[in-house]
């Protein structure tokens, strides 16, 4: 399965947003599958435009 979500934020907040996205993905897995949740790979690209993210 492959999904994409695009977030926009000020450049100075990008690293903080990256951490929040990764934490939210982990918590979503635990919510669905409990403490034994498998690890879902999440990649986050920080860039100035969508074309750079590919």
Predicted local confidence at residue 2, as pLDDT: 67
Q: What are phi and psi of 48, to 5 degrees?
A: -90, -15
Which whole-number Å values give the CA distances from 35 to 23, 24, 25, 30, 41, in the listed order? Answer: 14, 15, 14, 6, 17
For residue 10, the model assigns a pLDDT of 96
Per-residue pLDDT at 14: 96
What's the distance, Cα to Cα, between the start and end of the chain in Å? 17
Per-residue pLDDT tens, the chain, 54 aa: give them: 568 889 999 999 999 999 999 999 889 989 989 988 888 888 899 999 888 876
- Do 21 and 29 meet the contact criterion of CB atoms below 8 Å apart? no
Q: What pLDDT, on the 0 to 100 scale, is given for residue 24? A: 92
The predicted model scores a pTM of 0.78
């Amino acid at each position: 399965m492959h999904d994409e979500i695009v977030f926009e934020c000020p450049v100075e907040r990008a690293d903080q947003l990256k951490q929040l996205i990764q934490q939210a993905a982990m918590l979503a897995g635990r919510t669905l599958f409990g403490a034994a949740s498998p690890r879902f790979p999440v990649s986050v690209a920080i860039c100035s435009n969508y074309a750079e993210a590919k």
